[in-house]
Amino acid sequence: MVLFSKNEYSALPLRNRQEGPFEQWKPHKTRNLVSLFVSVCAAVVLFGWFGFALRGDLLPLNRLIASPTSSVTHMHLPLRPLSSPSPRLQRFQQCSIQNLLETDLYFLQGVAPPSVAHYEARRNRLANALVADGVDAFVVEPGYTFKYYANVSQPEWEVWEPEERPFLMIVQPHLDLATGLITANTSFLCPSFEAERARLLEMPFSEPIQIIPWQEHWDPYATLMESGIFTAAASENRPPRLMVDEEMRDFIQRGLGEEGFDVVGLQGRVEAVRQIKSDEEIAILRAVNTGTVEAVRQMRKCEDFLPLFFVQGVLLSDVSVYTGLYHGLTESEIAEVLDNTLRAVGMEPFFDIVLFDENAANPHGGTNGSKVLDAETFVLIDVGAHLHGYSSDICRTFFPPFLEKPVDRKNLSSGLKKKLDVWDIVFEAQTQSLHQLRANATAASVDIAARDVITQAGYGDAFTHRVGHGIGIKAHESPYMNKGNVRSILEPGMAFTSEPGIYLVGEFGVRHEDVLLVQEDADPILLTQRAQGPWDP
């Protein structure tokens, strides 16, 4: 803040001096003295407040995140340092986090990680699917599928790289002759020296895990064949039939085949186990996807402002205080702030694509994130985060908050009007895809419903990808909704994204993405809240 001395003030041009404090200074005029005193006091107070704000110390982030602003108990993850020390960027981040915390984190209400009983129910469903598909065992190594059935990912088993020593989970069906119930019998082929570490993983089993150990100088696949666990195949004098998933590495599949196992790829009812979500899975998917949308919305609400302090017509302050999105922000800076906003409420971002205008014409980007924001920029954000092992995958396209929303479109520039028109076309395409997303429809029909809208609007060639995909512990899971996938039939409980887009090279791109749950005889259940418009994503 700048206060002028009398000499400095006298040097100002007359247009800036008119009605100024020194121009009207008369010692005998008490009214003016009081007025000036009040103005100066106000200036001092504002200067102190602005200085406090400019340091970014309104509330330290660690205190902000830990403050009991929400009735929902949640964990927060460590924030990553921002690439720029700019106080302006720091305040933007603080505003974004505070806004999200002030939602009371409604989307996390009643959500908990899967229990041991839940994992056992999954493996029992798998066992019944193995019987239906005529398979002796399902074999999987650490990865997403292993995570689904036993809560161990590849990095949780071997943090630096995939292990060359096979560590395999083998799930077999067990028939109780007395009750007729089929349950899962699970064992682990494990290097002998790693057996204790496998036990220490505390995988979700109610009984101690069964380990088939193998020494370094043994053939692990021969060890598995000779373990005696494939009794049904042995009694029928045939090779055990094993099903593996798409993550199984080639050298392990070859090793199993060379030892005499009949190895088949993921298919049938076994594949459907992960595709059809339980109530607990649906709750987590709804929480993480709704929370991710809410993070984008609350971040966008952060606006910048420029307080100008005048004393009787004279500008006494040129201090600018900014709390949010502002001219000059880069794509990568917005991504950094959004990522930390998600971490602040316990969701771990695993991808975040922020693209402005012509950069968004390439659906997944590829630029260096240095393009800067201005008033009429179309901002496309495609972001995913993890919560309790489940993925979000949402996309929004919107204008920054400092572009005033027009009352109507009559007097808009042709460029701005085109952006709004394309936004509406993509939204209608998504709407039509939702109506088609129901049980017994083909995956292809959902894509075609959206594609027809965009094609009829004259942008068919600009819709360059499929309309959506399954989602669960992976952001992209089968079935995949493209116009050629006529074999995949949708079933109740499947969760999908719907993400049509239009991409105009050299201009801009628009994509809307939400997550939905297939129902039996009705439109799908939204696991997110759809965008309301380019000013309300």
Q: Of the residues 33, 54, 75, which one is the last residue of a structural domain?
A: 54
187 within domain boundaries: yes
Q: Which two tokens stand for residue 19?
A: 């009605």
pLDDT at 57: 40
Q: Is 46 left (phi over 0), alpha (psi -120 to 50) or beta?
A: alpha
191: in domain: yes
Cα distance between residue 14 and residue 343, in whole Å: 54
- On whether both 17 and 95 belong to a single domain, the answer is no
Average pLDDT over residues 391-409: 94
Strands 508-511 and 495-498: unpaired
Q: Is residue 128 in a domain?
A: no
The answer to whether residues 139 and 228 touch, using CB atoms and an 8 Å cutoff, is: no
The residue-averaged pLDDT of 418-439 equals 98
Instruction: Assess whether 184 and 307 both reside in one domain.
Output: no
Reply yes or no on whether the pLDDT at 2 is more than 50.
no
Which residue's structure tokens are 């819709």?
Answer: 463
Instruction: Say yes or no: 68 and 175 in one domain.
Output: no
Distances in Å between the Cα of 270 and the Cα atoms of 22, 254, 264, 280, 355 are 85, 21, 12, 19, 38
CB atoms within 10 A of CB 408: 6
- What's phi and psi for 346, nearest 5 deg? 90, 10
- Tens digits of residue pLDDT in 296-312: 999 999 976 544 443 44
435 and 463 belong to one structural domain: yes
Residue at 248 is within a domain: yes
The amino acid sitting at 415 is: G
Q: Classify residue 139 as left (phi > 0), alpha (psi -120 to 50) or beta.
A: beta
What is the residue range of 261's domain?
134-266
Between 84 and 295, where is the model more confident?
295
Would residue 117 count as lying in a domain?
A: no
Domain presence at residue 121: no
In a domain, 124, yes or no: no
One domain, residues 234 and 291: no
pLDDT tens for 265-275 read: 999 999 999 99
pLDDT tens track for 181-209: 999 999 999 999 999 999 999 999 999 99
> Edge to edge, what strands does the sheet with 210-214 contain?
210-214, 182-191, 168-175, 137-140, 241-244, 262-264
Same domain (yes/no): 285, 369: yes
- Same domain as 258, residue 236: yes
Contact 311, 21 (CB under 8 A): yes
Supply 208's token pair. 């101690």
Examine the fold and report which residue of 266, 287, 314 is the final residue of a domain before the chain moves on.
266
CA 508 to chain centre: 22
Report if residue 481 sits inside a domain: yes
Q: Check pLDDT > 80 for residue 48.
A: no
Which residues are paired to 120 by β-bridges? none
The CATH number of the domain holding residue 223 is: 3.40.350.10
Integer CA distances (angstroms), 168 to 118, 155, 268, in order: 21, 15, 21
Which pair of structure tokens corresponds to residue 167?
A: 């560590």
Q: Which residues face 498 on adjacent strands?
A: 514
**pLDDT score at 254:** 98
Model confidence over 465-510: pLDDT tens digits? 999 999 999 999 999 999 999 999 999 999 999 999 999 999 999 9
Are 308 and 128 spatial neighbours (Cβ–Cβ below 8 Å)? no
Burial class, 367, CB count within 10 angstroms (exposed 0-12 / middle 13-18 / buried 19+):
middle
As for how many domains the chain has, the answer is 3
What percent of the chain clears pLDDT 70, i.e. is strictly above it? Answer: 82
What's the angle, vertex CA 415, arms to CA 322 and CA 332, rounded to 5?
40
- How do residues 51-78 score in pLDDT, each as one tens digit? 434 434 444 565 556 554 555 556 788 9
Residue 149 shares a structural domain with residue 97: no
Mean pLDDT of the residues in the chain:
87
Identify whether the C-beta of residue 191 lies closer than 8 Å to the C-beta of residue 164: no
Q: What is the pLDDT of residues 5-27, one digit of tens each?
A: 434 434 444 334 334 433 333 34
Q: Are residues 77 and 19 in the same domain?
A: no
**At 536, which amino acid appears?**
D
